[in-house]
Structure 1
């Protein structure tokens, strides 16, 4: 399916890192909980292990969202990308959140992809490179996404804050749709999105104003926003014409009523 401004198959509401803060982020448990709240599309962060396996992790390090420090001690690198997948897969990525999720493992990207594909869920894959690995990560993630979704009717949406990672994804799998993530409206953001042939701009919700929405939509982009956790903020964005919302509050917003 060719994704364009007119042909947009994605739902309005997207669950941030699986289920926002209600479950350990970027785990299969979070995806299942988000789905239980009615969400049909999810956002997640994907980077590479030292042996090139794509897996889910937001931070460069494992310290915040796993037991790596307890398991390995302070003398071992906590950077996720410094370890092979066999080692990473043994970590507990749930206990930091709550006892209910003790023992929840870090998921590899392939398992999350299969969960989404088997259930007909959409996926926004944020390419989240370990520092210095932008091009390699963009290439490998796009390769895996193209393979896994080769027979799917709706492709995943690839996004990144890193234009180099998005450029690598474009070069590797140009048919997969892309979105440029922005935490500031830096000089040349619109031109960069155009050069990368993106279909969407995904902004911090505070950046969307009448002028920025008009610029993006006039250039043919869909306007999406993160991380929208308040009903009044969501209404402001709706009034501006923003078309997609990434949220932690899967318990507050009922996605089925707005899709």
Structure 2
């Protein structure tokens, strides 16, 4: 590790299990309905994707475009929030959720805070807005969590991204918020990059990780999380290898309160 840069030293208050995009695939991803559905199975930490609208509103959506998970069309980040707020983000999933709107980051954060849940915010910028989105997410999360007074102070949100520029902007804006570098392949310099960004964690695709890789990251003072783990055998393998957290769609098959079931 670069001797002049150390990973962020924080306690690790987060549960082992994280529900992917709210409730995985049982409800329309990245909606308040998905969070509520996941909570009904006992889940207490949720992952979601956040991007920036053309007029500066932070909202939940995974894809760059609207077609897959809404009745809208085009690049989401190029549209203003009044137009985005009128879209149906649930009907694509099932009739039960028809009319479910895209939620703002504020709405999700307040739901999480009121219920004492934990949140992993993936910064998902529209290409070209990496720094603007990273800074906006960090600034708003810090403000929302500072406003929290009850039922008890909540753990800070974990900010993650595949985009180093977004994480750098988050670090520059609110250095007290923990960060995690997302990886879908090993690339040259990834570990030094995570350290320079003062990351608390590396979050990697499950197929990439084994005991040696996890130990390498642990040796640099960072935690290791993995996505998206839906198979009990894979979960057992990673648990034995020393993983610190698993992100899953299988909220109805795994037990978030304890061991692996399903």
- TM tier relative to shorter chain: over 0.9
Q: How many residues align?
A: 248
CA distance in structure 2 between the aligned counterparts of 1:189 and 1:221, rounded to whole angstroms: 13
Work out which of the residue numbers 93, 97, 111 in structure 1 matches 2:93: 97
Distance 2:22 2:246 in 1: 14
Q: CA deviation at 1:4?
A: 3.8
CA distance in 1, matches of 2:194, 2:258: 31
Are positions 1:8 and 2:12 aligned together? yes
Partner of 2:4: none
Structure 2 residue 39 is the aligned partner of structure 1 residue 35: yes
Matching of residue 52 in structure 1 with residue 56 in structure 2: yes
8 Å contact kept, 2:116–2:154: no
Partner of 1:184: 185
After superposing on structure 2, the runs of 4+ consecutive aligned residues of structure 1 that deviate more than 4 Å are none
Q: Measure, in 1, the Cα distance between the counterparts of 2:221 and 2:183.
A: 17
Q: CA deviation at 1:243?
A: 1.0
Could you say which residue in structure 2 is the equivalent of 1:144?
Answer: 140
2:258 aligns with: 257
Matches within 5 A, 1:205-216: 205-216=206-217
Is the CA contact (8 Å cut-off) linking 1:12 and 1:258 kept in structure 2? Answer: no
Structure 2 Cα separation of the partners of residues 54 and 156 of structure 1: 15
Instruction: Report the Cα offset of residue 256 of structure 1.
Output: 0.9
> Which blocks of at least 5 consecutive residues in structure 2 are unaligned?
1-7
> 1:257 is paired with a residue of what secondary structure?
coil
Give the aligned partner of residue 66 of structure 1: 70
Deviations 1:92-120 (A, max 9, x none): 00000000000000001100000000000
Structure-1-length-normalised TM-score = 0.94
Query: Once superposed, what is the RMSD of the aligned Cα atoms?
Result: 1.2
State how far apart, in whole Å, the 1-side matches of 2:191 and 2:48 are: 24
Alpha-carbon offset, residue 211 of structure 1: 2.1
Structure 1 stretches of 5 or more lacking a match? 70-77
Q: Deviations over 1:54-95 (max 9, x none)?
A: 0000000001000014xxxxxxxx100111111100000000
In structure 1, what is the equivalent of residue 121 of structure 2? 125
State the shift of 1:209 in Å. Answer: 1.4
